[in-house]
Structure formats: C-alpha cells, structure tokens
Structure 1
Amino acid sequence: MPGGNREIDTIRALFHDLREPLAAIMLLSASPKGDVDGKLHAISEQAQWLAQLVDSSLDDAANDWLQWVGANDIAECVAARARSTTTASITVSAQGEGWVWARPVALSRALGCLVDNAVRAAGPDGHVVVAVADRGTTMHVTVQDDGPGLGRIGHRTSLGLTTVRAMVAACNGAFRLAAGEGGGAVAEIALPTSSTHRAVS
C-alpha cells in the first residue's frame, strides 16, 4: 500500500537522522575526560534536538512552518553536533547575514545528513567545510569534504540523500551533489531569500 510504504520510509528517515545525536550523547556521557558542566550542556543541546526531530515527525512537520531562518546559525549548530562524534576538522564560513525563507527543522535535518556524509567520507583525519553564501535571490549552503570522491566510498546512503532532497523540497529549495574540483565531493543547497517563494500550506 502506498500509504504504508510512505510511513515506513518516514520512520527509516527519522532513525537515520537520530543516529548522530544519539552517538554524541553516548560519547559525551561515557568519556571521563573534559569539563562536566560543558558535557552536560552539550548533552542537553543534543537531547533538545532529538526532541525537535521526534516532535516534527509525530506532528507530520505541522509545526515546522516556513519562516525567516538564520542559515548561519543552523550551520554552526549542525557543525557543533557533528564535532561531538568525530576527530575530523569541521569549519563553517559565512558570507552575508544568512537569512533564508525555510523550515528550520527540515533545513537542519538536510544539512545534518550532508555533514554526516561528508564526515564519513573525509575520515577521522579529514576536513569538512560548511559555507553559507548570499547570492542575491538565493542563499547557497555548501558542504565540501576532502575524501576520495564520488563513487569511491559507500557512505552516501540513498536514504540519507532521499531525506535531504525531501527536506530541501519542503523549503522550496534545490539540491545538487557534485565532484569537487580538487577531489572529494560538494553538496549544495540553494534556498530562497524572499518570502514570495513561500509554498501554500
């Protein structure tokens, strides 16, 4: 049944998105090193993100409405979550104020999937760059890694990319994945910077 298949896909996509914050919480709680207050704060942030994901899925994204969102802030939050589970270098660069018309949870999920893929591709000693650039009517958020490149790794799962495409589409944006000029891969999300692109709810 089509409805049943769609529900299973939604659940699988949610499980896929839950992996990173759960892994971060387990690592933070198991490590005897580091500042206790700092670790508790990081665990609290991860738990809040888990709650947002679950609520969004249970409500069928009803509360994740199109609004003005700070892409720079979302990029920083996604990078911070990813840093909790990897030794790879993750840097964020921003050009412009970063305001886009999007669904905040959907955009966070999409970017989280891309950063997760990039980290896996880059490896523990690799580098990932998340860049937010204002190009007039659109804001471009790119994730680039220095891994072996497209077709040479098995980490970019179809489920993850399916989630990305669905979440970006929910924000009235566009998505593309291409080989990097110097190796690795570049994933790009283009989002409208005007509310005139708002979809009918």
Structure 2
Amino acid sequence: MTRWPLHLRLALAMGLVMAGLALALLAVVHAGNGRAAQETAQRMNLGLAAYIGQHLPAPLLDDQGQVQQPVVNLLASHVMAINPAVEVYLLGPDGQVRAHALGVPTTDDPLGRRVDVQAVAALLAVGGQAAALPVLGDDPRRPGQRVPVSVAPLPAPGEGYLYVVLQGQAQRSVAAQVAPSLAGRELAAAFALVAVCAALVAYVLLHALTRPLRRLATQVQDIRTDGTPGQEAPNEVAMLEAAVAALTRRVDAQFQQLQQADQRRRDLVSGLSHDLRTPLAALRGQLESLLIEDPATGTPDRTARLHTALRQSERLRRLIDQLFELARLDDPQVQPRCEAFCLAELLQDVVQGLQPVARARGVALALAAESHGPAPVWADLGLVERLLQNLLDNALRCTPPGGQVTLGLQADGARQRVSVTDTGGGIAPDDLPRIFERHWRGSGPQAGSAGLGLAIVRRILDLHGSHVAVRSQPGVGTCIEFDLPTRA
C-alpha cells in the first residue's frame, strides 16, 4: 500500500468534501435563481393577459360563443412579433383549452386539454400582492409542469379566461441550448476552484499542525525493538498505533520477565537459606560437642569431629564465595578483560590443580589425548579458569568413585570447543533444560544444592558471547560443551 502522509490524506479529503459542498451550493443557487426568474417574469408581466384582452381588435368569441379563429391568428402574429417567449391560450370556464395563439402548427397541439382553474382563481385573487408571487399554473403544452402565467377573465362573464404562459416553448428551447454550456462552465470552475483552494489551504495548515505528530511517530517507531515483522504503515496514526501495540507487548513481556526474576530471587534466597543453614547447624553441633567434652578425657572421635566441622566450614565458605561472585558477575558494568592466551595450557593447569580433589574422591581426572596442541583464544583468562574449575568440580561431585572425568579440546573452525565429560549418574531429560538456573534444585545427585556453580558458568559464557550445550544419558554420564573465539 502506498504510504501517503496524514496531512496529505486529510487535505485531499477536505478538498473532496469542499467540492461536494460546492456542488450542493451550486444546485441550491440554481434552484433559487430559477425561482427568482419565475417571480421576476410573473411580476413584470402580471397584467399582460389583461392588457392583451383590452387591446384586441375584435372579440375572441362571436355572439354564439364560438372562437373567431381569424382574430386568434392575428393575435398570434402580434404576440410572436413582440415577445416570442410567451404563449397565449383561450380557456373555457372549466379550464379547457379552446384556442391558442402559437402561430404555427405543433406536434403537441394543446387544444382540448384542461388547465387547473384553481391556480387561475388563485392568481386572480393574488393580484399585485408581492409576498404571494410566484403563483404557477399548468403548462398546456407540457401536462404536469408548472410555469409562471398571467391570467385575465374575458369581458363577458362565464366566457372563460385569457391565459398567457410567460416562459413558453421558445424560451425553454433557447435556455436548453445555453444552460448546459453555462452550467458546465460554472460547475467545472466552482469544483476546480473550491477543491484546489481547499486542498492547498488544508495541506499548508495540516502540514504545520501534524508536524509534532510526525516527529512523535518517528521517535516511537525508532524505539520499537520487539522484532515483530510488519507492513509499512500508511500514515502517522497507523504507525503510532502499531508502535504503541508493539511497545505494549514489549512492556508486558518485560513485566512478566520481572515477575519471573523476582520469583527466581525468592527461590534463590529460600534455597540459599536452606543450604547455608545445613553446614552452620553441623558446624555448631560439632563445636558444641567439643566444648562439652573434657579435653583430658576426650573421646577418640574428637579429631573426626574437628574434621567434620572443618569440612562444613569449607562448604559454607564456598557457598558464600559463589554467592558473592555471582552477584559481582550480574553487575551490568562488569565486562570481561579479554586477552590472548593458550587454552591448552590453561586446561593442563586446571587439571593438575584438581588432581588432589579427584584422587580424594576416587575419580580419574585426565586431559584428552588430542587436547595438547596450541589453541590460542581471545577471552578473560581469570573468568575462563573459574568456569573450568566449576565445571570440573561439578563433574567430580557427580561422578561416583571409580568413575572418570575427561577434559577435551578441539578446533571448530574459527572457535575452540571445550568439553567436560563424566561417567556419573547423568541428568534426567526433564531436568536438563534447567541445570544452569541459579534457583533450580535438581532431583539427581545434586539435589539439595543451590546450583550456583553452573549458574556462574552460564553467566561467564554470556559475558563472552558463547553458548553452552549439554548432552546427558541417565546411568551413563554427561557431557557439557562450550566454545571460545580463536585468536590468530
């Protein structure tokens, strides 16, 4: 659809409305002019019938009441010579046309037709009263048509009337030839003048009045970032409507996201409260037992209790560190400090650093054979190291004694792909999409954990613009993969 500005559409609409009003006004003016012409003709010639009757050379009827046709013919020649526009008729008392002074034979000879005598009586009663004119009578040559007339009774009472049509066939014929060209020129001129003037004035005014609306529509369209495809709006109002609808959807989606984030925050606080309470309770119980016992007569498991308290305190420290680290990574101002480094060397360092933990758990931790080649990447060294430590720690905790955790590295085009594979219990298919959610508490080996380690992994990868993929089979194991950009 062609996009026309709103002010142009309104200007064209106003021009068409004004042209229609001009046509209606022209029709009213023509009707008024016709009525005025009828009144003028009748007022100027109101006494014409009486004048003709008074100046006849001989009576129109003989002593037997018959029409004297020679006198009528003489009257026709005089009338047509003086004023061809009028038509003179001789009416009987009942309004029947007994004779006429049309001069020439016609195909629509009105002899024998009747004229409404009530209009004749009304005109005779009006006389010269200006307010009552025009009084129209029947046109003998056009039955059903009303025209201005002049009427006078014949000298002898009951003989009839002299009936003069003031706008006869000759005048109507000339008017019919002139009117179309005149009316056409007037109509065309009025239509063009009014339409063009109205459109120009409306365009100028509306262009100035709708300027703020156009600016607002452009600004709203610029901030419409919901990504929904749409056709080009035909005008500013439609553009605003589409943009407001898109913004409404965007606000609703953001509000739902805020609600979901708030719910996740409450779940996270609830989960952390539970996770922090467990090691605190264990640590407190062990310390209270040690305080109650007499050091001189202590039980043999005193050292075991101290080790238990130490492990719980370490667990508590790790949870608190993860909580603060996740809060720091969630800060919008935190950006990765990228640099070039060898990813293969970092993998070897991380594996060597976690070997004591792996041996203590009875799990074999190794770097895949094909992962020793050069693999330069562009990333934040500290964050990537933290990411690998979290993934390996999670894999070691989920792998039973006698299992194996393998760290692999493979070039994938312009990126380096890292994989962490374990032989643990795996993840249920329903839980797989949610393992990186910070509030999620799984149903597998990690049930009861707040899941902050994997949440930190997801946040670090988001900061690097990388994606994580997870493949898992219950009872077989899990493989978590991510990639980083290669640095030439």
Q: Is the 8 Å Cα contact of residues 69 and 104 (structure 1) preserved in structure 2?
A: yes
Aligned to 2:367: 92
Aligned to 2:445: 153
Aligned to 2:403: 126
User: Matches of 1:182 and 1:100 in 2, distance apart?
Assistant: 34
Q: Aligned with 1:84: secondary structure? A: helix
Q: Is the 8 Å Cα contact of residues 107 and 171 (structure 1) preserved in structure 2?
A: no
TM-score (norm 2): 0.27
Q: Deviations over 1:74-101 (max 9, x none)?
A: 1112111211222211111206411111
User: Matches of 2:334 and 2:446 in 1, distance apart?
Assistant: 34
User: Matches of 1:169 and 1:100 in 2, distance apart?
Assistant: 16
Q: Which moved more, 1:99-108 or 1:81-90?
A: 81-90
Q: 1:123 to 1:157 in 2, by over 3 A?
A: farther
- Which among 458, 467, 472 is matched to residue 179 of structure 1? 472
User: Matches of 2:415 and 2:372 in 1, distance apart?
Assistant: 12
Q: Is the 8 Å Cα contact of residues 69 and 103 (structure 1) preserved in structure 2?
A: no
Q: 1:171 is matched by which residue type in structure 2? A: H
Q: 1:139 to 1:180 in 2, by over 3 A?
A: farther
Within 5 Å, give how 1:25-174 maps onto structure 2.
65-87=337-359, 88-93=363-368, 94=371, 96-151=373-428, 152-154=444-446, 158-174=451-467
Q: Aligned with 1:185: secondary structure? A: strand
Q: 1:172 to 1:136 in 2, by over 3 A?
A: same
Q: Is the 8 Å Cα contact of residues 336 and 463 (structure 2) preserved in structure 1?
A: no
Displacement, 1:187? 0.7
Q: Is the 8 Å Cα contact of residues 175 and 189 (structure 1) preserved in structure 2?
A: yes
Displacement, 1:170? 2.1
TM-score (norm 1): 0.61
Displacement, 1:116? 0.4
Provide structure 1 residue ranges, at least 5 long, that are not aligned to the other structure.
13-49, 196-201
Count of residues in correspondence between the two structures: 147
Displacement, 1:157? 5.1
Provide structure 2 residue ranges, at least 5 long, that are not aligned to the other structure.
1-260, 273-320, 429-443
| Between structures 1 and 2, the one with greater helix share | 2
Displacement, 1:127? 0.4
Displacement, 1:153? 1.8
Relative contact order, higher structure (CA 8 A, sep 6+): 1
Sequence identity, in percent? Answer: 23
User: Matches of 2:473 and 2:482 in 1, distance apart?
Assistant: 15
User: Matches of 1:124 and 1:136 in 2, distance apart?
Assistant: 36
User: Matches of 2:474 and 2:484 in 1, distance apart?
Assistant: 23
User: Matches of 2:357 and 2:420 in 1, distance apart?
Assistant: 17
Q: Deviations over 1:38-93 (max 9, x none)?
A: xxxxxxxxxxxx9xxx9xx69x8979611112111111121112112222111112
Displacement, 1:175? 1.2
User: Matches of 2:409 and 2:473 in 1, distance apart?
Assistant: 17
Q: Is the 8 Å Cα contact of residues 68 and 102 (structure 1) preserved in structure 2?
A: yes
Aligned residues: CA RMSD: 3.3
Q: Aligned with 1:100: secondary structure? A: strand
Q: 1:144 to 1:180 in 2, by over 3 A?
A: farther
Q: Is the 8 Å Cα contact of residues 180 and 186 (structure 1) preserved in structure 2?
A: no
User: Matches of 1:96 and 1:77 in 2, distance apart?
Assistant: 14
Q: Is the 8 Å Cα contact of residues 426 and 475 (structure 2) preserved in structure 1?
A: no
Q: 1:145 is matched by which residue type in structure 2? A: D
